[in-house]
Amino acid sequence: MRLLSFGLTEPGVGSDAANLVTSARVDGDVWVLNGEKASITFAGNADACVVFARTGGPGARGVSTIFVPLDAPGDAPMDGQGVGG
């Protein structure tokens, strides 16, 4: 079985998608995410995460979702703190 986690909540912003701070940008053929998420449901057991990140202007219309395999290379510590599920 495969599990998918949901990365919306951020410290200081909560689950208010219109005010997300985490950003995403394209660098060549990969997406680069920059920010912090909290309380990611199933993060400790998931195979991938749908991450909400700012790719455009202010407000909810500037937010996109990025599918992130949790075994992808990069600096994404998952120590289990603040993880629900």
Superfamily of domain 4-69: Butyryl-CoA Dehydrogenase, subunit A, domain 2 (2.40.110.10)
Can you tell me which residue has the tokens 């120590």?
79
pLDDT tens figures, 4-22: 999 999 999 999 989 999 9
**Residue among 50, 52, 51, 45 at smallest CA distance from 78:** 45
Question: What digits encode the pLDDT tens for the residues 21-41?
Answer: 999 999 999 889 999 998 888
The pLDDT, as a whole number, for residue 73 is: 74
Pick the more confident residue, 5 or 1. 5
Task: Point out which residues pair with 32 in neighbouring strands.
Answer: 25
Model pLDDT for residues 40-69, shown as the tens digit of each residue: 888 888 999 999 999 999 998 999 999 998
Q: Which residues contact 57 (CB under 8 A, 6 or more apart)?
A: none
